Amino acid sequence: MVIYLRVLKESFNFAISALINNKLRTFLSLLGVTIGIFSIIAVLAAVDSLKKDINDSFSSLDNSTIFLCRFSFGPTEVPQWKWEQFPDVTYDEYLKVKKMMPDIKGISYQLNVQRETVKYDDRSIENVEMIAVTHEQTNIEDVKLSHGRFFNEAESTRGATVIVIGDEIAQSLFDGAEYAIGKKIRVYGRKLTVIGTMEKEGSGLFGDGKDVATFLPVNFMRKIYGDNNKGVFPFILIKPEAEVDNEEFVALLSSKMRIIRGLKPDDIDDFFINQLQGFSDAIDNMTGTMNKIGGVISLFSLLVGGFGIANIMFVSVKERTNLIGIQKSLGAKNKFILLQFLFEAMILAIIGGMIGLFLVFIGSLIASSMTGDFQFVLSPWNIFIGTVISAVIGLISGIVPAISASRLNPVDAIRTGM
């Protein structure tokens, strides 16, 4: 074992010495691997960061959450012209589903409406997301409040003029969330009392999250827009109990909705039951495809880098043929010569890979600083992948030159170098 360690150490020292003595050649060899590793790890880091930001956007909702509405969140066999004629889900249907469906942990009726400007005295903030929901929204979504409370059932049912606002709205209108509670802000030409403020979320790739959003009682919004406004997108959010079988729950929900709408046995469903889990699976498939495409593109850069290292190693073997002959004549074994050149190729590739990883790290810091709260993530797993790929490229590129060097005849090698 000691002999093998000594051989490894001496081979490593020879490799480092060769790389230092041929700086230009080393740099040119590093370049291909550096570009290849930078390309593939940059793609992996970007996709991982995108996936993390999307998942964080839905982190307040459980994967079992169901969206019941007239649109499908994914591909469907129903023709577009047909589902465009489907009726919207109504508040009355929400009440019936709530009464008829067992094993519901939370159910909420929600209206998706256009953004508005919110005012307080001479201050205003534009493009505010207005989220109209029933009081059960907190049973489905983790709404984190920094001050105050969410509206209760009585306020929700009568459509009270109360509102829960995001942190950025509170900071802009009142110089702090603690000063917002009890104040009256103007929206839709009416005054609404602030009863709660949400914790700061921070912005992401897809916007400012809940920081520039508000929650209002859905019945208040129904008074504003009415129940037949095509500019409003209503849907029912349902969260089943944890122990419930999702497939059975969806089948039962579909059956109840058909009864509520009086559909005949041969009629197709005129509604869609969308599960958040399906959306998460679609995201995984999309990011997986992006990783594969990026990997294939980056593979060409790695091949160029690998061929570059192999070419340089063949040149190195030819230049040091005389030295190899002398080493062999002094008792160096084939294994020592093999390891010497193999280590040189692997070290060259790993150094190139580490430079590529460092460039990705610098790039991620710059990109994160330019995109606000969206963070590009260079994970330890991606660093490990980059290092392993570099080592494998070095091993594959250096194996043939190393074998050819180890098989040289010492006499012929010395004669060739003279």
Distance CA 274, CA 261 (A): 18
In the structure, what pLDDT confidence band is assigned to residue 206 with cuts at 50, 70 and 90?
very low
CA distances from 343 to 313, 320, 349, 405, 410 (A): 11, 15, 10, 13, 21
Are residues 116 and 38 part of one domain?
A: no
In the structure, what pLDDT confidence band is assigned to residue 91 with cuts at 50, 70 and 90?
very high
Distance CA 233, CA 109 (A): 11
Residue 189 belongs to some domain of the structure? yes
CA distances from 321 to 25, 175, 402, 413, 417 (A): 18, 76, 12, 5, 6
pLDDT higher at 396 or 367: 396
Tokens of 272: 């869609």
pLDDT digits 0-9 by tens, 6-23 = 656 665 666 667 667 777
Owning domain of residue 236: 107-240
Other beta carbons within 10 Å of 352: 28
The answer to whether residues 106 and 238 touch, using CB atoms and an 8 Å cutoff, is yes
Question: Last residue of a domain, which of 210, 240, 270?
Answer: 240
Question: Last residue of a domain, which of 207, 222, 240?
Answer: 240
- Give the pLDDT of residue 235: 92
H or E segment and range at residue 57: helix 23-57
Lowest mean pLDDT, pick from 55-59, 225-229, 236-240: 55-59
Whether residue 158 has pLDDT greater than 60: yes
Are residues 227 and 144 part of one domain?
A: yes
Residue 168 belongs to some domain of the structure? yes
Are residues 121 and 48 part of one domain?
A: no
Other beta carbons within 10 Å of 120: 19
In the structure, what pLDDT confidence band is assigned to residue 372 with cuts at 50, 70 and 90?
low
In the structure, what pLDDT confidence band is assigned to residue 205 with cuts at 50, 70 and 90?
very low
- Give the pLDDT of residue 413: 63
Question: Last residue of a domain, which of 204, 223, 240?
Answer: 240
Residue 154 belongs to some domain of the structure? yes
Residue 88 belongs to some domain of the structure? no
Lowest mean pLDDT, pick from 141-150, 151-160, 299-308: 299-308
Total number of domains constituting the chain: 2
Q: What is the mean pLDDT of the chain?
A: 81
Are residues 195 and 138 part of one domain?
A: yes
